[in-house]
Chain A
Amino acid sequence: MASAIHLTPSALPAAGMKKRRAMSWITLAAALISLIALLPLAFIVWIAIQTGWDTVVALIFRPRVGELLINTVLLVIITVPIAITLSVALAWLTERSDLPGNRLWSWLSVAPLAIPAFVHSYAWISFVPGLHGLWAGVLVSVIAYFPFLYLPISAALRRLDPALEDAAAALGLGPWRVFARVVLPQLRLAICGGSLLVGLHLLAEYGLYVFIRFDTFTTAIVDQFQSTFNGPAANMLAAVLVACCLFLLALEVIVRGEERYARVGSGAARKQQRARLGRATLPCLLLPAGVALLSLGVPFVTVGRWLLAGGADVWRWDEISLALGQTLFLAIVGAVLATVAAMPMAWISIRAPGRLQRLLEGCNYIVGALPGVVIALALVTITVRVALPLYQTLFTILFGYALMFLPRALISLRASIAQAPVELERAASSLGRPPVKALWATTIRLSAPGAAAGMAMVALGITNELTATQMLAPNGTRTLAMAFWSYSGEIDYASAAPYALIMVAMSLPMTWWLYVQSKRMAGR
């Protein structure tokens, strides 16, 4: 014990210095990555300046932009609360109640993530052909994106210390009030993070809304791009979209607040008691069953129906295997790239939070929230004008992917770094590890599950990415998503079905793994 006390005066300060040096490197790296990530934004500003103020005003303040703004805003403010409510309800049922088969339901609530948003939409319009407009958009969006909320909320619910709830109950609060005043506040971080992710997806998604004929900024930008390539009208729409993202981001920062939740006190947390549903079991079963039916049943039935209708003819194996190989390659390399790029940012956001970190992190989120088409448009123009050898190369498309999906990697990494106690890093330093090695031996290793989860999320995103891939891919590239889109655009739904199935099959293991990981994090 004496040695532990000795440690303080001699080794700890030195460790502090090492840490600071490592930190400045990491901060530098994060700043650099954020700066690079800002390229597309700088491009939009530059285009605006080039376009001239009068044209900008004429292109932004017109009725069409108003229409799109109303559509987009309504979509977000209706979808997100519904998704939150649904996710909290599902998470509570699967994690805190004695719902029969709760593990199965829990998995089924994560599984919709394996189905690309535009495949959900494709399934729904085959199922209900006339489906269109705002409410169709809300329906399909909730179904496609609620797992982004369910995952963090259920993970947070699982980790809660029941002692707090017991204390509240002992002080006379009823179960509902315990939930509202003790449980919900502790879910705030998870809800904020998840909502932001869902909100950003709503702003950036293209394929989903094309199928159901609901115009958002992103679909309008693609329309403009298809008509004018890199015309100012598309870029001005993008500018308004960027403003929307900024707003969402600011909102999340305000609602999230500065607090960090930590459990204090000695010993391990007691295992949570599951609430007995009793007679309510049957009605409660309806919720996860209904959600599973809508989010998994509809896609599987429709894809299956198209596959049956298409028969053996739609399995053009030469085409399919080529698309599969290309998609896998892009997804894996892109995921590694994005995760490596997200690491410095994630680290400083937990270990050295401050104004600079908020700013840098914000930059990454804004860039990640830009629709693929805007980033792609920026990269096309930048490479054509400045870095020609890079135009239409694998490098550029992977770079684009890294920019777009950095936030996904960041969120997972941040959460898991937050769980790695900083004290371990310090202890490793004080035991003589050099800063980078100390970081490697402690935080990075402990955050490996988060990093891997982040990679899986990025890879999923790339597998399902469509517009940016179409614009940036080297000649001859044809990913699964591109092939699917091309066939479904010609309403050859049967030929598109194998691609949909393969995309789902590819995403399933990653989703399963995500699910298992989120369980393991809570020690179950």
Chain B
Amino acid sequence: MELSRVAPALTPRDGMSHLHNVDYRYQVLIGAVAFPGRITKIKDHAMKYALSTLAGAVALTASLVAVPAMAEDQGIVVYNAQHESLAKEWAKGFTKETGIKVTLRNGGDSDFSNQIVAEGAASSADVFLTENSPAMALVEAAGLFAPVDADTLSQVPQEYQPSTGKWVGVAARSTVFVYNKDKLKEDKLPKSLLDLADPSWKGRWAASPSGADFQAIVSALLQLKGEAATTDWLKAMKENFTAYKGNSTVMKAVNAGEIEGGVIYHYYYFGDQAKTGENSKNIGQHYFKNQDPGAFVSISGGGVLASSKHPKKAQAFLKWVTGKGGQEVLKTGTSYEYAVGKDAQSNPKLVPLADLQAPKIDPATLNSKKVIELMTQAGLL
């Protein structure tokens, strides 16, 4: 209660302080002459305060920089755009066999590939793993990959690696049209991905345009049908489709009957079936086949960065992933992606890769930059 008594007592004087303002300087001059000690003391205190603040700030900064430095040891850093659970399995298996520690940094295809390009030689990444090829092509075009070891390349058939040998396929996924079995009968299914541009499909199909997965499908379309056709198709898509974030969400919406169909990859269905099946019980999977752009099989890539400070360990990791151990994870694990290694087998539940009649595309030619440009123009991004 002391506060409230002090305040009103001082208030009237506050009003008068303007009057004193005029001769402040004189008063201070007098004060400085009369009480020199006191003014130094003020400075002294302020100085001490400033110094201690500075010291605190320095200590804080030092500890901040030191902590991450301590956290990193001699392992390798993997920029992982693959499903976290799959990469975790790979890292675990590799560490168990070789004792080399793996630090995973998780993100998406596009942001990581662009980030690596921006970081240039300064990148802390040793290995880059993606879900789709365009992101690998982007890093390759920037000249940031070291050539993959020959014995790693020899573990994977030629069709699942780029012609350049700068990176290698580690897994594969197929485009699929998922549909709600109650809402859409088999004879009404689209024959080609291109059919979805037809006005009759307005408001009836979904996709996740901001995801690298769908963008990879568009990049295949661009490669197969050219820029003009792709631009038209994207324009029609903007009119027809409903945007969702993430392929899982698309499947969930189709399953719930919010929309009839959606363009996603094949493994979401199997993943959900393996769990509760709650989000896929009404789902049918339709593969376009016939070398249709919609039959595109996207190759997930792995590459070693030229700037890696542990190139040997990084190459060893890639070799392990494309080898027996890594490919076995694809067969037995929960990812349901296709294995691509020679003699490696995919999960028996999947439609065999050879039966999908995918169009032949050199993954090194997929142009993600152009795709983003076209999709931005079409108002999809």
Residues of A near any B CB (own CB < 8 A): 4, 8-10, 12-14, 16-18, 22, 25, 59, 62-64, 67, 129-130, 210, 213, 215, 219-220, 222-231, 233, 266, 268, 333, 337, 380-381, 384, 388-395, 398, 421-424, 426-427, 432, 434-437, 470-471, 474-476, 478, 486, 489-492
Instruction: Say yes or no for B54: interface residue by CB 8 A criterion.
Output: no
Residues B215 and A489 in contact, CB atoms below 8 Å apart: no
Instruction: Say yes or no for B55: interface residue by CB 8 A criterion.
Output: no
Instruction: Say yes or no for B74: interface residue by CB 8 A criterion.
Output: no
Residues A393 and B27 in contact, CB atoms below 8 Å apart: no
Q: Report if A213-B65 is in contact (Cβ < 8 Å); known contacts: A434-B45, A434-B46, A437-B45.
A: no
Partner of A490, one of B120, B209, B248: B248
Distance A210 CA – B9 CA, assembled complex (angstroms):
57
Instruction: Say yes or no for B175: interface residue by CB 8 A criterion.
Output: no
Distance A9 CA – B119 CA, assembled complex (angstroms):
64
Question: Which of chain A's residues has its CB closest to B53's CB?
Answer: A340
What band does the interface of chain B fall in when counting residues whose beta carbon is under 8 Å from A?
A: 35 or more
Residues of A contacting B108 with CB < 8 Å? 226
Q: How far is the CB of A1 from chain B (nearest CB, A)?
A: 10
Partner of B106, one of A18, A391, A486: A486
Q: How far is the CB of A4 from chain B (nearest CB, A)?
A: 8
B residues 202-260 touching A (CB-CB < 8 Å) = 209-212, 215, 243-246, 248-249, 251-252, 256, 258
Residues A475 and B11 in contact, CB atoms below 8 Å apart: no
Residues of B contacting A12 with CB < 8 Å? 13, 17, 20
Apart from A4-B9, A64-B376, A432-B38, what 10 extra A-B contacts exist at CB < 8 Å? A62-B377, A129-B256, A210-B245, A213-B243, A224-B376, A226-B211, A227-B215, A391-B119, A424-B7, A491-B246
Distance A288 CA – B8 CA, assembled complex (angstroms):
40
Distance A230 CA – B49 CA, assembled complex (angstroms):
41
Instruction: Say yes or no for B33: interface residue by CB 8 A criterion.
Output: no
Distance A63 CA – B381 CA, assembled complex (angstroms):
11
Instruction: Say yes or no for B67: interface residue by CB 8 A criterion.
Output: yes
Instruction: Say yes or no for B61: interface residue by CB 8 A criterion.
Output: yes
Partner of A380, one of B28, B118, B212: B118
Instruction: Say yes or no for B327: interface residue by CB 8 A criterion.
Output: no
Residues of A contacting B72 with CB < 8 Å? 475
The B interface is mostly helix, strand or loop, or mixed, namely helix
**What 0/1 pattern do residues 4 to 15 of B give for CB contact below 8 A with A?**
101111110110
The segment out of B109-117, B143-151, B341-349 that lies at the interface is B109-117
Distance A384 CA – B369 CA, assembled complex (angstroms):
22
Q: How far is the CB of A140 from chain B (nearest CB, A)?
A: 15
Question: Which of chain B's residues has its CB closest to A470's CB?
Answer: B107
Distance A124 CA – B92 CA, assembled complex (angstroms):
36
Residues B10 and A423 in contact, CB atoms below 8 Å apart: yes
Distance A129 CA – B379 CA, assembled complex (angstroms):
26
Q: How far is the CB of A432 from chain B (nearest CB, A)?
A: 8
Q: Report if A13-B28 is in contact (Cβ < 8 Å); known contacts: A229-B118, A230-B114.
A: yes
Q: How far is the CB of A409 from chain B (nearest CB, A)?
A: 17
Partner of A220, one of B6, B249, B272, B381: B381
Distance A230 CA – B68 CA, assembled complex (angstroms):
25
Residues A227 and B210 in contact, CB atoms below 8 Å apart: yes
Residues of B contacting A130 with CB < 8 Å? 256, 258
Residues of B contacting A227 with CB < 8 Å? 110, 210, 212, 215, 372, 375, 381
Residues of B near any A CB (own CB < 8 A): 3-4, 6-11, 13-14, 17, 20-21, 23-25, 27-28, 31, 38, 41-42, 45-46, 49, 60-61, 64-65, 67-68, 71-72, 77, 83-84, 103-108, 110-111, 113-115, 117-120, 122, 124, 209-212, 215, 243-246, 248-249, 251-252, 256, 258, 272, 275, 279, 369, 372, 375-377, 379, 381
Residues A474 and B245 in contact, CB atoms below 8 Å apart: no
Residues A426 and B10 in contact, CB atoms below 8 Å apart: yes
Residues of A contacting B209 with CB < 8 Å? 223
Q: Report if A388-B68 is in contact (Cβ < 8 Å); known contacts: A16-B24, A436-B49.
A: no
Q: How far is the CB of A386 from chain B (nearest CB, A)?
A: 11
Residues of A contacting B256 with CB < 8 Å? 129-130
Q: Report if A475-B77 is in contact (Cβ < 8 Å); known contacts: A226-B210, A470-B107.
A: yes
Partner of A229, one of B13, B60, B65, B111: B111
Q: How far is the CB of B369 from chain A (nearest CB, A)?
A: 8
Q: How far is the CB of B101 from chain A (nearest CB, A)?
A: 10
Residues A14 and B27 in contact, CB atoms below 8 Å apart: yes
Q: How far is the CB of A207 from chain B (nearest CB, A)?
A: 10
Residues of A contacting B122 with CB < 8 Å? 384, 388, 391
Residues of A contacting B28 with CB < 8 Å? 13-14, 17
Q: Report if A476-B103 is in contact (Cβ < 8 Å); known contacts: A13-B24, A13-B27, A489-B248.
A: yes
Residues of A contacting B9 with CB < 8 Å? 4
Residues of A contacting B244 with CB < 8 Å? 213
Residues of A contacting B377 with CB < 8 Å? 62
Distance A62 CA – B379 CA, assembled complex (angstroms):
8
Q: How far is the CB of A40 from chain B (nearest CB, A)?
A: 16
Residues A475 and B124 in contact, CB atoms below 8 Å apart: yes
Residues A224 and B31 in contact, CB atoms below 8 Å apart: no
- 27 A–B contact pairs at CB < 8 A? A9-B27, A13-B24, A14-B31, A16-B17, A22-B46, A64-B376, A130-B258, A226-B211, A227-B375, A229-B111, A231-B114, A233-B376, A233-B381, A266-B8, A333-B60, A333-B64, A384-B118, A384-B122, A391-B119, A393-B68, A395-B65, A423-B10, A426-B10, A426-B14, A436-B49, A490-B248, A491-B252
